[in-house]
Amino acid sequence: MRIDLHAHSNASDGTDTPAELVAAAVAAGLDVVALTDHDTVAGYPEAIAAVQALPAGTGLTLLPGAEISCRVEGISMHLLAYLFDPTEPAFAQERELTRTDRFRRARLVVERCQELGAPITWEQVERIAAGGASRPGEEQGSVGRPHIASALVEAGVVATVSDAFTSEWLAEHGRAHVPKHETDPVEAVKLVRAAGGVPVFAHPGAAKRGRTVSDQVIGELAAAGLGGLEVDHIDHDEPTRARLRALAAELGLFTTGSSDYHGSRKTVRLGEFTTAPDAYQALLAQATGARPIVR
Ligand code: AMP
Ligand code: FE
Ligand code: FE
Ligand code: ZN
């Protein structure tokens, strides 16, 4: 079984449409793919329809999910959430708060970039984010720093998206960085569980993005209902993975592996990292908010 539990569509900062992501999952030979856009479920209708349109017996399962922006002790972190009820009001309201605040923040980041001499515009960022940012009549997607990074690439300011994530521009303490609304992760874990979902700490050891959360905080999240730790991730080196695996065993958490695919906005391939079937089964056994879509 090939199980990839973390992928983005253009409902947030991926470049594939939700339907293209489903097609890419089939092409990559995946058995399971999770759609985990940042702070939004806007990609669900298209992704679900794409799975349902596959030939019967294709052998693909879609796990609807999301990646929730959190902050604890001054550190930004991401919480993956799977198989929650997307209509549960308290969690839906928190996602909406974060998603809308991303637009306020993105405009300010664009202004900072302009003041710093980068010839980018809000209209350009809106166009780049448009896949997720403006679908008439449906929940909108979310805008993020990677869209602004793509605008900086288009304008010739930096060569690649990841070159925009430096102290010069968009990194955590960079010249053009503006904070956004982020949920306390203990609160987020409780919101996910109350919506019947399963929370997993995304890339907890991704040090290149800034400081990482202490083992003590991870222990507190486990006590609050965290289900697992994402261990096999491109941003974790081997010693980090070993340390996280030991911590997960100590805390009774399952461990996952996933690509964190962003289409052409990052170099990682869909299915490059995968989750073991027993961890996937542990996740499924804890979920009560939604069913996987199987085709
Ligand atoms: P935002 O959610 O708008 O604050 O932007 C965070 C997103 O930027 C993450 O989900 C990643 O997709 C991307 N990102 C963060 N750090 C880096 C980095 N060092 N290089 C490339 N992309 C990054
Ligand atoms: Fe992202
Ligand atoms: Fe993330
Ligand atoms: Zn992600």
pTM exceeding 0.95: yes
pLDDT over 90 percentage in the chain: 95
To test ligand 1's pocket by mutation, which of 165, 169, 180, 260 has the most ligand atoms within 8 angstroms of CB?
Answer: 165
User: What's the confidence (pLDDT) of residue 5?
Assistant: 98
Q: What is the pLDDT of residues 214-243, one digit of tens each?
A: 999 999 999 999 999 999 999 999 999 999
Mean pLDDT, residues 116-128 taken together = 96
User: Is 266 a residue whose pLDDT tops 80?
Assistant: yes
Q: Which residues line ligand 1 (CB under 6 A)?
A: 13, 38, 69, 144-146, 161-162, 165, 208-209, 262
Place of tokens 């052998």: 59
Say if CB 2 and CB 232 are below 8 A apart: no
Residue 132, domain extent: 3-294
Residue 131 pLDDT > 90, yes or no? no
Q: How confident is the model at residue 135 (pLDDT cuts 50, 70, 90)?
A: low
How many structural domains comprise the chain?
Answer: 1
Distance CA 149, CA 22 (A): 25
What value does the mean pLDDT take over residues 239-263?
A: 98
Judged against a pLDDT cut of 70, whether residue 136 lies above it is answered with no
Give the Å distances, CA to CA, from 262 to 7, 21, 115, 143: 6, 10, 29, 14
pLDDT at position 1: 95
Model confidence pLDDT, tens digit, residues 76-105: 999 999 999 999 999 999 999 999 999 999
Lowest mean pLDDT among 95-99, 105-109, 138-142, 210-214: 138-142
Nearest ligand 1 atom to alpha carbon 144? 3
The pLDDT of residue 123? 95
Q: Which ligand is nearest to the CA of 144?
A: 1
Nearest-10 crossing angle of helices 215-224, 185-194: 30
Please give the distance, rounded to the nearest whole angstrom, from the Cα atom of residue 75 to the centre of ligand 1.
14
Ligand nearest to the CA of 66: 4
Give pLDDT, residue 208. Answer: 84
Average of per-residue pLDDT values in the chain: 96
Q: Which residue has the tokens 């202004």?
A: 111
Lowest mean pLDDT among 65-69, 130-134, 163-167, 285-289: 130-134
Scanning 231-292, the segments in alpha helix (DSSP H) are 238-251, 277-286
**Whose alpha carbon is nearest atom 16 of ligand 1?**
209
Q: Are 75 and 211 in contact, with CB atoms under 8 Å apart?
A: yes
Which residues in 99-128 are b (16+ Cβ under 10 Å) and which e?
Answer: bebbbebbeebbebbeeeebebebebbbeb
- Cβ proximity of 268 and 234 under 8 Å: yes
CATH assignment at residue 10: 3.20.20.140
Distance (Å) from CA 202 to ligand 3 centroid: 6
CA of 78 to the centre of ligand 3 (A): 5
Residue 166 has pLDDT above 80, yes or no: yes
- Residues having C-beta closer than 5 Å to ion ligand 4: 67, 260
> For the segment 2-48, what is each residue's pLDDT rounded down to a tens digit?
999 999 999 999 999 999 999 999 999 999 999 999 999 999 999 99
Between the CA of 146 and the centroid of ligand 4 the distance, in Å, is 11
